[in-house]
A and B are shown apart, each in its own frame.
Chain A
Amino acid sequence: MWLELALILIIFLGIIILGNNRLGTMIQLFALQSFILSMTPLLVHPGIHAVIMTAATIILKVLVMPSLLFWAIRHVSIRREVQPLIGYGKTLILGGFFIGAAFFISSKMDLPVKAISNLLVPSAFSIVMIGFLLLVSRFKAITQVIGYLVMENGIFLFALLLLEKTPLLVEMGVLLDIFVAVLIMGIVVNHINEEFESTNTIHLTALRD
C-alpha cells in the first residue's frame, strides 16, 4: 500500500522534471524523488540491509549530489534550458506515451523473481525511459546529468526486486560509481563552459567528420 503510493509519487515527480525548464527546480525535484526512492527499501524488506541502503542513498542522492549540481550551476551561471531539442509539450506527451509503453512491456515480461508489487517493474521502466527522454531532448550539459541520474533512479527500483539477493557491497559499489560519475560530469561541465563559453552540447558537433 505505502509502496504503491511511493512508486506513483516517484513517477509523478519524473513527469514534473520532464516538464520543467528551471535547472534549480529540476535539481530540487530530483532530490525529492531520490528521497522517496530511498524510503522504498524500508517498505519492501525492513531490516539492517535496507536501513544501510536508505542511509547511503539519502546521503549521496539527496544531499551530496544535488549540492554538487547546485555548485555547478552557480559556477557556470545558467538558470534555464532555453532551446530544447524537443519542445516541453511534446516531451510531456512522449513521456506519457513511454509510461504507457512501460506498463505494456512489463505486463508481457517474464521475471525470474516474483515482484512484491505489480507496480514495481512498470514504474522502474517508466523512470528509466523518462531519464532517457531527458537525455535525448535537452542540450544543456546539466540537464544531461540530471537525466542520467533520473535514469539511475529507475535502475535502483529494478534492483529492489533483488534486494535480498544482492550483497551490500555490490550496491555500495554502484552508489560510489554514480557519485564519482557525477563528480566527473560536474568538472567536465565546467570545462566545457570554459572552452566554449556555453554548456550547450550542440557545440560538440564540431567534432563530426
Chain B
Amino acid sequence: MTDYFLSSLVLLSISAVLIVLTSRFQKISGGIFLFSLGTGCVLGLISAVSVLVHRVPIDYRLDFRMPIGEFYVGVDLLSAFFLLTIVMLSLFAGIYGYGYLKDDEKKNLSVHYALYLVLLISLMLVVTAKNAVLFLVAWETMAISSYFLITFDDEKEAVRKAGYLYLIATHTGTFCLWVMFLLMGQQAGSMNFDQMTLASFPLPLAGVLFILGIIGFGVKAGFIPFHIWLPHAHPAAPSHVSAVLSGVMIKMGIYGLMRLILIVKNFPEWCAMVLLMIGMISGVGGVLYALGQHEIKKLLAYHSIENIGIITLGLGIGLWGQIDHNEAVALIGYAGALLHVFNHAIFKGLLFLSAGSVIRSTHTGEIDHLGGLLKKLPWAGHLFLIGSLSICGLPLFNGFISEWLVFRALFDGVFHFETNALVFSSLAIISLALIGGLATACFAKAFGAIFLGNSRSIDNTHLEENSSLMRAPMLVLGGLCLWVGFFPSTMVSFALGAASTIASLKISPMAEEAIISPLLTVVWVLMILVTIITVLVLFKRIAMKFLPIEKAPTWGCGYSMPTNRMQYTASSFAEPILRIFRNVLGFNVTGNKPQGYFPKEEAISSHVIDASEDFIFRPIFQFIKSLSAKLKIIQFGVTQLYLLYIFIFLLILLIWKMV
C-alpha cells in the first residue's frame, strides 16, 4: 500500500510544478489542479483506509541521505488516521476553493493552486515522516506554504499583519521543536522515530521534552495562551484555506504531541495535569471569546480553539490513564481525542465553507449586518445548521460521538482514579459540559442572526446561491457529519486502532466491542426518539393541511410599524452570558442607553479583550522590539566594520581554543 501513498505524493508534486508552468493558461492549470487533487487524495485515502482496516503499518525508506536525516516515511495507524483526515478535508476544500476563486481575474490563481498542493504534500509528509529532520523540513514547508495561502488578499493591511504574526508565532514554535528533537536524538542516538521509541527517557528529561513539545506544538494547535495568531489568520485567509488551516493544519500540533507520547511513553504525572488544564482553559476560554465575536470567521476561529481544548482533554485523560496503567481510560481518552480531530475537521470545514458562501454572496462577514439568509441561500444555510449541530455535540451528529468518548474516559477516570486525578477528571467533566452549553448558545446566536429573521443592513433581494462546484463539497461534508453520527462504529474502531498505537497496547476485538456497543445503544435510542418526533411532525403537517394558514413577516412582534433593525442582534443575544463572565473576559460595553421620552441618537457597542494577546504577548513583543532597537547601534552598514566584527570574533575563538 506504500505504492498508493507514494504515487499520491509524486503525482501531487509533479502537478504542483505543472500548474506553475502553465500559469499563463488559467483554464489548463485549474484543470490540472482539480484532477491531481482528486486523484492524489483518493490514492492517499486508499492507503490510509487499508492501513486502518488491516492494522499493519507500512514503511518506506529512500536511499537519500540528508545531513543527520534521511527520507524515511511510514504509515502506521496513528499516521493513517491523520492522513485520512487530511485527504478528506483537503479534497473537498480544494474543490470548493476552485469554485470560490475561479471568477477572480485579478490574481494569479495558479500560484495559489500550486501552494495549496504544496501545503497538502507537506501535511501528508508531516504525519508520515519517520525521521525528525524530515519531519521538521515538512513542518517548515507547511508553515511557509500556509503563510502564502493566508496572505492571498495581500493588498489588505490586516491580512499582511495577520500573516506576519502567524510567521513569527510558527517560527517560535519550530525553535522549541528543534531543541526537543535534538534532545531526543541525543538520548536515542538516532534521529529516526523508531529508534527513539526503543530508547528510554528518564522522567526529568521527559518533563523537559513535554514542556518544549507543549510550546512548540501548542503554538500550532492554538492552545490558550499561545493562540494569538489564530483569530487573526483564519479570518484573513480565503474560506477554503481557513477550512484547511482550522480543520487540519492546527491538528498537526495534536499529532506532534501524540507522536511525542508514543515515543517517550513514560511521563511524570504533572504532564497529564498540565494537558487537562490546558484543555479546560482552551475549551472554556475559546468558546467564551467566540461568544463575544461579531465577525463570522473570527467566531469560527475561536471555536477551533475550543475544539482543540476538547481534544486536549481527551489526550490528557488518556495520558493519565497511561501513566496510571489503566488501559481502558487510556484507550478511550486517546480514541476520543483522535475521533474529535477527524470530526472537527469535517464539521469545521463545513462551517467555514458555508460561511465562505455567505461572505462570497453578501461581501461581508459581520454577523450584525446579515439576517434572513436561509430563504436566499438555502444550501449554505441548512448545511451551516448541520455543522452547528455537530459542533455543539448534539446527538445524531458526529460531534456527539467523539465528545461522548471523551466524557466516557473522564467518567471512567472519576471511578478508577484517586486524589489529584479524581479532582481533575471531575473538573474536566464540568468544563466539558460548560463548553457544550456555551457552544450551543454561541451557534444559536450565529445561526439565528445570520440565517433567521430579516436582513439588518444588507439588501437581500438580489442574492443568488453559489455554483454547484461550491455546494457539492459542502453537501458531502454534511453527509459525512451525519454518517459518523448515525453509524459511528467504523470511525470509532479506526480511532481505537490509532489510540492503541499511541498507548503501545494491543487491543482485542472483544475490548473494542465493549467500548463501541454502549455507544451504538445510545445512538439507537436516539434514533428511535428522532423517528417518533419526525412521525409526529409529519402528522402535524398533514393535519395542518386542513386548516387555514396565514403568512406574516418574521419578527412581527406586534409592532405596528416594525423595521428590520428592531431585531435581536448577535451582540445583544450573547450579552447576558458575557455579562456573567465579564471579569474573566474583559467584556465591556461602550456607549449610552437612550433616555427620556424623546431620546437623542445613541450608539452602543460591546467587545471582548483577548487577555493573552493584550496582557502577555504585546508587552513581550514590545520589550523585544525595544531591545532590538538598542542592539541596532552596532548596525552601521559599513562593510569594513562587519569584517572587523568577524575578525574580532575569530581572534576570540582562537584565544579561547588555546586556553
A: residues with CB less than 8 A from B are: 85, 101, 105, 108-109, 132, 135-139, 201-202, 204-209
Contact = CB atoms under 8 A, between A and B. Distances in A.
11 contacts: A85-B638, A101-B651, A136-B640, A136-B644, A139-B640, A201-B638, A202-B638, A204-B637, A206-B637, A208-B635, A209-B635
Contacts of A137: 640
A132 B643 CA distance: 8
Given A135-B643, A136-B647, A105 B635 contact: no
Contact of A201 (B640, B654, B655, B658): B640
Contact of A135 (B637, B640, B654): B640
Contact of A136 (B637, B643, B654): B643
Given A132-B647, A136-B643, A136-B644, A205 B637 contact: yes
Interface string B631-644: 00001111111011
B637 A201 contact: no
B644 A208 contact: no
A85 B637 CA distance: 14
A178 to B, nearest CB: 18
Nearest to B637: A208
B368 to A, nearest CB: 42
Contacts of A132: 643, 647
A208 B654 contact: no
B297 to A, nearest CB: 35
A138 B644 CA distance: 12
B646 to A, nearest CB: 9
A151 to B, nearest CB: 10
Contact of A108 (B636, B643, B647, B658): B658
Interface residues of B, number: 14
A138 B641 CA distance: 11
The 7 closest A-B pairs by CB, nearest first: A208-B637, A205-B637, A108-B658, A136-B644, A136-B640, A132-B647, A135-B643
Interface centre among B639, B640, B643 (most CB of A within 10 A): B640
A85 B640 contact: yes
A201 B639 contact: yes
Contacts of B641: 136
Contacts of B654: 105
Given A109-B658, A135-B643, A136-B643, 19 more contacts: A85-B640, A105-B654, A108-B658, A132-B643, A136-B647, A137-B640, A138-B640, A139-B640, A201-B638, A201-B640, A202-B638, A204-B637, A204-B639, A205-B636, A205-B638, A206-B637, A207-B637, A208-B637, A209-B635
Contacts of B651: 101
B374 to A, nearest CB: 53
Interface centre among A135, A207, A209 (most CB of B within 10 A): A135
Nearest to B658: A108
Nearest to A147: B643
A180 to B, nearest CB: 21
Interface centre among A101, A136, A206 (most CB of B within 10 A): A136
A41 to B, nearest CB: 26
Contacts of A202: 638
B640 A208 contact: no
Tell me if B's interface is mostly helix, strand, loop or mixed.
Answer: helix
Interface in B24-58: none
Nearest to A133: B647
Contacts of B644: 136
B632 to A, nearest CB: 9
Interface in B586-642: 635-641
A101 B640 CA distance: 21
A208 B636 contact: yes
Nearest to A201: B639
A145 to B, nearest CB: 13
B655 A105 contact: yes
Nearest to A138: B640
Nearest to A110: B658
A205 B639 CA distance: 8
A81 to B, nearest CB: 12
Contacts of A209: 635
Contacts of A205: 636-638
Contacts of A136: 640-641, 643-644, 647
Nearest to B638: A205
A44 to B, nearest CB: 24
Contacts of A139: 640
Contacts of B637: 204-208
A201 B643 CA distance: 13
B630 to A, nearest CB: 15
A132 B647 CA distance: 7
Contacts of B640: 85, 135-139, 201
A205 B641 CA distance: 11
B310 to A, nearest CB: 45
A206 B636 CA distance: 10
A202 B638 CA distance: 6
A105 B636 contact: no
A51 B658 CA distance: 36
Contacts of A206: 637
Contacts of A138: 640
Nearest to B657: A109
Nearest to A202: B638
Interface in B360-418: none
Contacts of B655: 105
Nearest to A85: B640
B645 to A, nearest CB: 10
B211 to A, nearest CB: 35
Nearest to B640: A136
A3 to B, nearest CB: 24
A123 to B, nearest CB: 16
A153 B101 CA distance: 61
Contacts of B658: 105, 108-109
A209 B632 CA distance: 10
A109 B640 CA distance: 28
A37 B58 CA distance: 62
Contacts of B635: 208-209
Contacts of A135: 640, 643
A148 to B, nearest CB: 10
Nearest to B647: A132
A138 B638 CA distance: 11
A138 B655 CA distance: 26
A207 B636 CA distance: 10
A85 B638 CA distance: 10
A109 B654 CA distance: 9
A206 B638 CA distance: 9
A60 B639 CA distance: 27
A132 B658 CA distance: 21
B655 to A, nearest CB: 7
Contacts of A109: 658
Contacts of A101: 651
Nearest to B641: A136
Nearest to A208: B637
Nearest to B659: A108
